Amino acid sequence: MHNNPIIAEVDFSQNGKHWGYLRLPHSVHRSAYGWIPIPVASIKNGKGKTVLIMGGNHGDEYEGQVLVAELFRILQPNMIQGQVILLPMANFPAAQAGLRTSPIDQGNLNRSFPGKPNGQPTEIIAHYIEHELLPRVDYVLDLHSGGSSLIYNGANMLVLKPRNQAEKLKVHQLIQDFGLPSAFFVPANPLTISSAARRQGAISIVAELGGGARVDPKILSQARQGVLHFLAAQSILQGALVPKQPPSKPRLMHVAGDQHYVYARHQGVFVPSACLGSIVQAGQKAGEIHCPARPWDTPYQVTFVGGGEIICQRALAQVEVGDCLFQLAGDEQ
């Protein structure tokens, strides 16, 4: 159809639980006729909504990989009305290596949509997701975190700024169904899964679940409850796994442009003056960049460009010019 070379071992139109690999042909020195194995499952039971749940879009974000793999094991057709498609390691080479980007082609899957059927492996995966999977689904839950270089404050949802009132009502309802503590509205970037979903008539919610190249069990548990709440609210999940408590009401915030970011403008060791969750003002001190190789130099002062709440901060002390140190959000009007 779209000439994508990936061969699915799973027939997504069949009822029942089916799993195997998306085989991405990859001919290399150690494996001339080999393929890259992207794990996939389809759990389908009759008519209803379809949701794609992804982890490992970025390979160094482990929360989603663990959670989607857990769903892979526990979800059974008799718990489902409609369909759940699971990709625990969406960019498999990156996830296998524990890297944000693929070690094969340096591709960042979430900056590769709509992808190319005849491109590099990351572009082929993006193309397959956008053109083969997204047209089948109503919703995408793409589970991210801060990865190796960033840490988000707890469990959050990130969604595209709605384009009109009808979309706003729909998206606000979906955010409440997921029920993680905070939701951030962000401007659209055409290269991401959220824009890909929008192009294909689906709605995507990205989760940002901690980070710092580790897994926080409390955040993981919140994300698990959120996914189950979401599936139950769409009438996809039924039975014992439906959470007993209703989801809590998320706080709505927005991330705008440059005023909500702080970047390093010097190389060195960053010592922050504020922490996750703090409310800061424009012009307030954000920290200092120290240069131990030039101990006679006064550390460089870093200030916040705009005000807001710190939702994400850099996890690594060493910084170069252009590194993101803080991300802020403002309350949604």
CB of 166 to Zn ion, least distance (A): 29
Nearer to Zn ion by Cβ, of 54 and 124: the residue is: 54
The region of 55-63, 189-197, 283-291, 292-300 touching Zn ion under the rule CB under 5 A is: 55-63
CB of 98 to Zn ion, least distance (A): 13
- Interactions with Zn ion, residue window 143-172 (CB under 5 A): 144
Whether residue 176 contacts residue 246, with contact meaning beta carbons closer than 8 Å, is answered with no
The region of 30-38, 54-62, 211-219, 319-327 touching Zn ion under the rule CB under 5 A is: 54-62
Q: How far is CA 289 from CA 266, 273, 285, 327, in A?
A: 7, 11, 12, 17
CB of 129 to Zn ion, least distance (A): 14
Nearer to Zn ion by Cβ, of 44 and 58: the residue is: 58
Residue 128: phi and psi, rounded to 5, are -65, -45
Angle made by CA atoms 44, 65, 176, in degrees to the nearest 5: 70
Amino acid code (one letter) for 59: G
**Residue 198 contacts Zn ion per CB under 5 A:** no
CB of 157 to Zn ion, least distance (A): 13
Nearer to Zn ion by Cβ, of 96 and 273: the residue is: 96
Nearer to Zn ion by Cβ, of 198 and 290: the residue is: 198
Of 3, 5, 2, 44, the residue nearest 22 (C-alpha): 5
Nearer to Zn ion by Cβ, of 84 and 206: the residue is: 206
Nearer to Zn ion by Cβ, of 60 and 274: the residue is: 60
Nearer to Zn ion by Cβ, of 123 and 176: the residue is: 123
User: Any idea which residue has 């200030």 for tokens?
Assistant: 303
User: Whose CB is nearest to Zn ion?
Assistant: 144
**Residue 58 contacts Zn ion per CB under 5 A:** yes
**Residue 44 contacts Zn ion per CB under 5 A:** no
Pinpoint the alpha helices (H) of the chain.
62-74, 92-97, 121-128, 165-178, 193-199, 217-233
Which DSSP state fits 1? -
- Residues 126-145: x/- map of binding to Zn ion (CB under 5 A)? ------------------x-
Whether residue 5 contacts residue 117, with contact meaning beta carbons closer than 8 Å, is answered with yes
Instruction: Report residue 51 as tokens.
Output: 């949701």
User: Any idea which residue has 């991300």 for tokens?
Assistant: 327
The region of 19-27, 52-60, 178-186, 301-309 touching Zn ion under the rule CB under 5 A is: 52-60
CB of 169 to Zn ion, least distance (A): 28
Instruction: Return the SS3 of 53.
Output: strand
CB of 103 to Zn ion, least distance (A): 17
Amino acid code (one letter) for 306: G
**Residue 224 contacts Zn ion per CB under 5 A:** no
Could you tell me how far CA 62 lies from the centroid of its own chain? 11
Q: b/e map of 275-292 (b: 16 or more CB within 10 Å)?
A: eeebebeeeeebbbbbee
CB of 164 to Zn ion, least distance (A): 28
CB of 58 to Zn ion, least distance (A): 4
CB of 290 to Zn ion, least distance (A): 29
The region of 36-44, 59-67, 120-128, 172-180 touching Zn ion under the rule CB under 5 A is: 59-67
Whether residue 171 contacts residue 186, with contact meaning beta carbons closer than 8 Å, is answered with no
Helix %, strand %, coil % for the chain, to 5? 25, 35, 40
Tell me how many residues contact Zn ion (CB under 5 A): 3
Could you tell me how far CA 68 lies from the centroid of its own chain? 12
Nearer to Zn ion by Cβ, of 53 and 75: the residue is: 53
The site for Zn ion (CB under 5 A) is made up of 58, 61, 144
